[in-house]
Amino acid sequence: MSRISGAESQVMEALWDRGPLTAEEIIQTVGPAQDWGEATVKTLINRLLKKKALASERAGGRALYRPLVTREAYVTGESQGLLDRLFGGQLAPLVAHYAQHRPLSPDEVARLKALIDGLDGDDR
């Protein structure tokens, strides 16, 4: 599957949140918030169909669109892409970057420590 663009991800979010939707329902959900017209949303739907991120099924004479990509798979791919592009695939430099440029709250530090403690001895 090809990479999902930021604009396309808005359509995907609507489908992940609300399940199968018609084109009209997608337009009503994402159009106003993004200031997009019907043609723009339909273009995004068609791009996602070509990328095999969506499936279209006929129901009651209308096309229903459903995601073929899970939100988890999308987030994993985007996260890994960010790590690869900006930090050589390494997680530690990403965390260090954020810690240097945006102070971590005590809660964030505690959560990171708990995450690291949970990974100790894990065979990842």
Cβ burial 30-51 (10 Å sphere, 16+ → b, else e): bbeeeebeeeebeebbebbeeb
For the chain, list the domains and their CATH numbers.
1-89 (1.10.10.10), 90-124 (no CATH)
Q: For residue 122, what pLDDT is reported?
A: 58
What pTM did the predictor assign?
Answer: 0.78
In this structure, the number of other CB atoms found within 10 A of the CB of residue 14 comes to 22
CB 65 within 8 A of CB 56: yes
Which of 19-33, 54-68, 84-98, 108-122 bottoms out in mean pLDDT, i.e. has the lowest? 108-122
| Each residue's pLDDT tens digit, 23-82 | 999 999 999 999 999 999 999 999 999 999 999 999 888 999 999 999 999 999 999 999
Beta bridge partners, 66, equal 55
- E strands, 19-110, are 21-22, 54-59, 62-67
